[in-house]
């Protein structure tokens, strides 16, 4: 019964983290860029949104500004990588470290309360059933806009940059520019999710983005596995990522209801992601081993019978000895 009562909360939180996973999907899958900025930009979105709401700003406008702050974080990572030649992972780590200090300064401390009883918010855990359709509307709009955008010339250039940067450069595409643009869009969506979570849970915390990459990976892996047999359409894939976030939180809630120590949840998440990432590789290796074994078996069966080499050697020797005998008779 406890699990059933907790389902609305799990679904609403799963949708929020699903939005974050959609943002991470752009950098990780579309752009092929391992961006660790998301842990920091997620918190930045929450911090900016919380500060603005406490200052009396409209919640919708606060979300928009939070999204712009996330875009600025993505721009910084992109400039570190494209402008200064710093590797993707290291550029994300550097931005993440900067954002930790920046987020502390934005909030004026380690956390900031945004209670729904005191301030106007769009979503709240106190009314999870009302929050679900609102967050779902955000998901639908984001998926629709991204589906349209990645069908444009600019969007196709971003996809081409992630798919084959060498060929993209050969076609005259400025890959550095489109990498930066992709990171800006990605972290903007991540920050939007952070702002929604700050409103939903009623506070912003300096550690609210910790582990966001693991949750995003879990949502991407689970979601794409669920929808890949339905369709390979880009919009369906992004919707599947959001669904993956919901599935992840429902499973998490079920595990908590079974009595698992909540201190072990992060470890459980990491183990699940490691299994999902490792199983396809191990399966591929196993299939390659079986395929190579079959090929070797067929090659052995197809080999022709060997001809005894003795007769050939004898004939060669005889042919070589005949001229010597003639030379003796002539002598």
Taking only the tens place, the pLDDT of each residue in 78-133 is 999 999 999 999 999 999 999 999 999 999 989 999 988 888 899 998 888 899 99
Q: Which element (helix H / strand E) includes 280? A: helix 265-302
- 30 in Cβ contact with 159 (< 8 Å): yes
Confidence check: pLDDT of 37 > 50: yes
Helix 2-25 vs helix 175-201: angle between axes, to the nearest 10 degrees?
160
Q: Please indicate whether residue 319 or residue 293 has the higher confidence score (pLDDT).
A: 293
Separation of CA 46 from chain center: 21
Half-sphere exposure (Cβ direction) of 329: Cα atoms closer than 13 Å: 5
Q: Using 50, 70 and 90 to split pLDDT, how confident is the model at 314?
A: very low
Cα-based distances in Å from 180 to 161, 192, 228: 11, 18, 28
Q: Please indicate whether residue 285 or residue 174 has the higher confidence score (pLDDT).
A: 174
- From the CB of residue 283, how many other CB atoms can be counted at a distance below 10 Å? 10
Q: Using 50, 70 and 90 to split pLDDT, how confident is the model at 273?
A: confident
| Residue 319 confidence (pLDDT) | 42
| Residue 86 confidence (pLDDT) | 93
Sign of CA dihedral 164, 149, 228, 9: positive
| Residue 327 confidence (pLDDT) | 47
| Residue 272 confidence (pLDDT) | 75
CA 114 – CA 22 distance, rounded (Å) = 25
Confidence check: pLDDT of 328 > 50: no
Half-sphere exposure (Cβ direction) of 313: Cα atoms closer than 13 Å: 4
The runs of H, that is alpha helices, within 202-264 are 212-227, 234-257
CA 249 – CA 20 distance, rounded (Å) = 13
| Residue 1 confidence (pLDDT) | 63
Q: Using 50, 70 and 90 to split pLDDT, how confident is the model at 301?
A: low
Average pLDDT score over residue span 290-300: 66
Confidence check: pLDDT of 2 > 80: no
Mean pLDDT of the chain: 85
Percent of the chain topping pLDDT 70:
87
Average pLDDT score over residue span 23-50: 93
- 196 in Cβ contact with 219 (< 8 Å): no
Confidence check: pLDDT of 312 > 50: no
Q: Using 50, 70 and 90 to split pLDDT, how confident is the model at 305?
A: low
Percent of the chain topping pLDDT 90:
56
User: What is the full DSSP assignment across 132-172?
Assistant: HHHHHHHHHHHHHHHHHHTTSHHHHHHHHHHH-HHHHHHTT
CA 206 – CA 203 distance, rounded (Å) = 10
**Max avg pLDDT among 115-129, 170-184, 217-231, 262-276:** 170-184
> Which DSSP category does 113 fall into?
E
| Residue 297 confidence (pLDDT) | 63
- 102 in Cβ contact with 41 (< 8 Å): no
């Amino acid at each position: 019964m406890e699990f059933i009562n907790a389902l609305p909360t799990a679904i609403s939180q799963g949708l929020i983290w699903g939005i974050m996973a959609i943002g991470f999907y752009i950098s990780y899958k579309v752009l092929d860029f391992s961006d660790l900025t998301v842990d920091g930009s997620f918190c930045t979105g929450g911090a900016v949104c919380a500060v603005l709401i406490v200052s009396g700003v409209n919640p919708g406008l606060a979300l928009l500004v939070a999204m712009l702050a996330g875009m600025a974080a993505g721009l910084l990572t992109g400039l570190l990588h494209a402008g200064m030649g710093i590797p993707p992972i290291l550029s994300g780590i550097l931005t993440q470290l900067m954002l930790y200090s920046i987020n502390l300064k934005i909030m004026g401390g380690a956390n900031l309360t945004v209670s729904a009883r005191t301030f106007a918010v769009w979503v709240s855990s106190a009314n999870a059933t009302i929050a679900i359709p609102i967050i779902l509307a955000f998901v639908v709009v984001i998926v629709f806009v991204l589906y349209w955008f990645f069908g444009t010339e600019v969007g196709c250039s971003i996809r081409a940059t992630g798919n084959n940067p060498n060929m993209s450069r050969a076609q005259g595409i400025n890959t550095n520019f489109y990498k930066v643009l992709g990171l800006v869009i990605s972290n903007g969506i991540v920050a939007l999710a952070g702002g929604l979570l700050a409103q939903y849970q009623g506070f912003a915390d300096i550690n609210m983005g910790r582990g966001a990459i693991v949750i995003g990976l879990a949502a991407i892996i689970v979601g794409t596995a669920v929808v890949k047999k339905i369709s390979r359409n880009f919009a369906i894939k992004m919707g599947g990522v959001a669904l993956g976030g919901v599935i992840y939180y429902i499973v998490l809630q079920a595990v908590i209801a079974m009595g698992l120590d909540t201190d072990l949840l992060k470890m459980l998440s990491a183990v699940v992601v490691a299994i999902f990432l490792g199983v396809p590789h191990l399966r591929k290796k196993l299939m390659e081993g079986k395929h190579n074994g079959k090929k070797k078996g067929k090659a052995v069966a197809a080999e022709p019978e060997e001809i005894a080499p003795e007769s050939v050697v004898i004939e060669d020797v005889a042919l070589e000895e005949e001229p010597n005998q003639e030379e003796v008779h002539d002598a």
